[in-house]
Structure 1
Amino acid sequence: MLKATPELVRRCGRNMEYMQCGASCERQCRDVINNVPPRSPCWGMCNAPGCYCRPGFARFYQFQYCVTESECYG
């Protein structure tokens, strides 16, 4: 029998990674389109554990996936 482990529960979508302390200033497509520079560093601002975009990717609006910054315009 396969035991449920935290690693099995923490599966994230493409271009995403699980973070125990996610960045509260995750890059969004609206930031890319409006030419807003990345808010860095976000240190000390911990968001809830979950799946966040990997570096170089942005959250595609309110959807649950991340795209390259160039895909934000599509």
Structure 2
Amino acid sequence: MLRPVVLAAVIIVVSCVDKKCGTNEQFYECGSACEPKCNEPADQMCTMQCIVDVCQCKPGYKRGPNGCQKPGAGCT
């Protein structure tokens, strides 16, 4: 009787652990399929597709060859 309760508690704790992301990134349970990139214009068409459990650039940053960067600061 106690085993299922302990197992359920372990599963909940493991699933709630913060996901580790890189510098200027944050974890999204449902991220954008169209993460902004340094070499792409900002006004591109995008679907509403959800990318599950993903690290993406924080708002105001774009994905570049060296990770997430501020536009204009090495992000061209």
Q: Same fold (TM over 0.5)?
A: yes
Higher relative contact order (CA 8 A, sep 6+): 1
Distance in 1, Cα, partners of 2:16 & 2:72: 31
Alignment TM-score, normalising by the size of structure 2: 0.65
- Provide the residue aligned with 1:70 in structure 2: 72
Percentage identity across paired residues of the two chains = 27
How many residue pairs get aligned? The number is 64
RMSD value over aligned CA atoms?
Answer: 2.3
Residues 27 and 38 of structure 1 are in contact (CA less than 8 Å); yes or no, is this contact kept in structure 2? no
Give 3-state SS (helix, strand or coil) of 2:72's partner: helix
Greater Cα radius of gyration, structure 1 or 2: 2
> Displacement, 1:47?
1.5
Q: TM-score, normalised by structure 1?
A: 0.66
Q: Please, which runs of 5 or more residues in structure 1 have no aligned partner?
A: none
SS at 2:22 equivalent: coil
Aligned match of 1:54: 58
Query: CA 1:49/1:37 → structure 2, altered by over 3 Å: closer, same or farther?
Result: same
Unaligned residue ranges in structure 2 (runs of 5+)? 1-9
Q: 1:43/1:7 Cα in 2 relative to 1: closer, same or farther (>3 Å)?
A: farther
* 1:20 partner letter: E
1:44 deviates by 2.7
